[in-house]
Amino acid sequence: MPENDLPSTSSSIARAALCRIDPAATLRAVDALDLRANARVSPIVAVPLRQLRERRDVGAFAVAAPPAAIRAVLELLAAKPLEAIVEVLGDDAESPSLQQLSTAIDQLLAAGSSDDDVVAALAFAVAESFPAAAHCRRLLAERPELSLPEVPTKPPPSAPAPKRQASPEVRERRRARREDERRRHKPPQGAGTSRPSRRRTGPTRSDGPPRVPIARPSATVSERRSVMLTPFEAGRFDSAHPLVGSVVFVEVAFDAEDPRQPELDSKERPALVVAATTDAILVRAIYSHPSSTRAVFQPWRRVGLEHPCFVDDTRVVVELGANGAPRSLGRLTAAEWNSLI
């Protein structure tokens, strides 16, 4: 597959990978999850996965599901092959060279792993901005056995579920139940209507001003909603770190080469911190232009940005290096945070 045929963004690569991977494997992974209402899974992930479990249409899910739900499914499929690749790479697993990663994949395939296993591992590494993400992109683009399909712009039409017809016995029980409800709520014969209330015509109280109903103040949002991290993110980052909820200026790597500035691979931009540790932060970058993966960043004016902005749903790892904590523009209120998480 020519390199320029690879989807340009990490989100598109993740969707294309799900379109390529055997749907039966995806459904088995989703069926094994605990998606009950009391499970600690973010609604933005849990709701699409429940729909996928019910409708069994992986193609439609890959096209239309939120990026967070796509990444969650891809992580399930990539867990075992990634573990095997890390074991083969050993001390070089943190930042392997292209040749080292290619050799590790060859060993994985020789040991019995499928092309789909490798695609899941590489696409997840790209989606999560692993240090070797650029090598993973190149392998997906250059190896014909790992080529990704084109993602449709619209979900394929799904066959409507057949309408269930109740049996005569069920319809009779329902009719009897409705009749019983009507009898129990019917007023007795001869019962009069309730008396109309009498209007008070006497004078109002003269010992003070008339009482005026006091409007109850609306409830204020005081608690910040917890962000749901993937197992990979939770293993490295702290969602209760003091930097969480701050808007900072950081260097964010590009998803793909900028044709106007091919020599650049990153740009300093504002970003919302969603989790952090002493040496890195997990952020959602803030952009000047909208897209299908970005939401309006309402507090742009309050934190000192010059124009309306949009915060991306994709989470990016930013290494802090020797400079320590980045420059902060401000911190979101609980209500502003909850509207975006």
What pLDDT, on the 0 to 100 scale, is given for residue 284? 92
What pLDDT, on the 0 to 100 scale, is given for residue 94? 84
Last residue of a domain, one of 88, 119, 146: 146
Residues 6+ apart with CB under 8 A from 212: none
Do 141 and 235 lie in a common domain?
no
Give the residue among 163, 159, 140 at the shortest CA–CA distance from 60: 159
Place of tokens 């910040």: 224
Residues 6+ apart with CB under 8 A from 309: 270, 286, 287, 288, 296, 297, 300
Q: Is the dihedral of CA 10, 14, 15, 20 positive or negative?
A: positive
Residues 6+ apart with CB under 8 A from 121: 78, 81, 82, 85
CA-angle at 268, arms to 101 and 314, nearest 5°: 60
* Confidence at 42, pLDDT banded by 50, 70, 90: confident
**Which amino acid appears at position 302 of this protein?**
R
Predicted confidence (pLDDT) per residue in 90-147, tens digit: 988 888 999 999 999 999 999 999 999 999 999 999 888 888 888 999 999 999 999 9
Give the residue among 271, 254, 251 at the shortest CA–CA distance from 263: 254
Last residue of a domain, one of 85, 120, 146: 146
What pLDDT, on the 0 to 100 scale, is given for residue 152? 80
Do 142 and 240 lie in a common domain?
no
**Which amino acid appears at position 2 of this protein?**
P
* 279 inside domain: yes
* Confidence at 1, pLDDT banded by 50, 70, 90: very low
The beta strands (E) that lie in 145-279 are given as 246-253, 266-276
What pLDDT, on the 0 to 100 scale, is given for residue 133? 87
Report d(CA 338, CA 332) in Å as an integer: 9
* 223 inside domain: no
Report d(CA 101, CA 122) in Å as an integer: 10
* 241 inside domain: yes
* 216 pLDDT above the threshold of 70: no
* 337 or 164, higher pLDDT: 337
* 138 inside domain: yes
Residues 6+ apart with CB under 8 A from 77: 21, 25, 26, 29, 116, 117, 120, 124
* Confidence at 185, pLDDT banded by 50, 70, 90: low
Number of other CB atoms surrounding residue 28 within 10 Å: 12
Do 134 and 261 lie in a common domain?
no
* 274 inside domain: yes
Q: Can you give the CATH number for the domain in which 297 is found?
A: 2.30.30.110
What pLDDT, on the 0 to 100 scale, is given for residue 116? 95
Average pLDDT along the chain: 80
* 292 pLDDT above the threshold of 70: yes
* 306 pLDDT above the threshold of 60: yes
* 163 inside domain: no
* Confidence at 328, pLDDT banded by 50, 70, 90: confident
In this prediction, what percent of the chain has a pLDDT beyond 70? 77
Report d(CA 53, CA 326) in Å as an integer: 41
Do 126 and 256 lie in a common domain?
no
Q: Is the pTM of this model over 0.75?
A: no
* 38 pLDDT above the threshold of 70: no
The beta strands (E) that lie in the chain are given as 246-253, 266-276, 280-287, 294-297, 309-319, 327-331
What pLDDT, on the 0 to 100 scale, is given for residue 166? 59
Residues 6+ apart with CB under 8 A from 181: none
How many domains would you assign to the chain?
2
Predicted confidence (pLDDT) per residue in 223-280, tens digit: 788 888 887 888 889 999 999 999 999 888 776 556 666 667 678 889 999 999 988 9
* Confidence at 57, pLDDT banded by 50, 70, 90: very high
Q: Residue 132 belongs to what domain range?
A: 3-146
Do 34 and 142 lie in a common domain?
yes
Last residue of a domain, one of 90, 125, 146: 146
Do 20 and 121 lie in a common domain?
yes
* Confidence at 324, pLDDT banded by 50, 70, 90: confident
Do 132 and 262 lie in a common domain?
no
* 215 inside domain: no
* 173 inside domain: no
What pLDDT, on the 0 to 100 scale, is given for residue 341? 78
275: helix, strand or coil: strand
What pLDDT, on the 0 to 100 scale, is given for residue 219? 40
Distance set, CA 160 to CA 48, 56, 280 (Å): 18, 12, 47
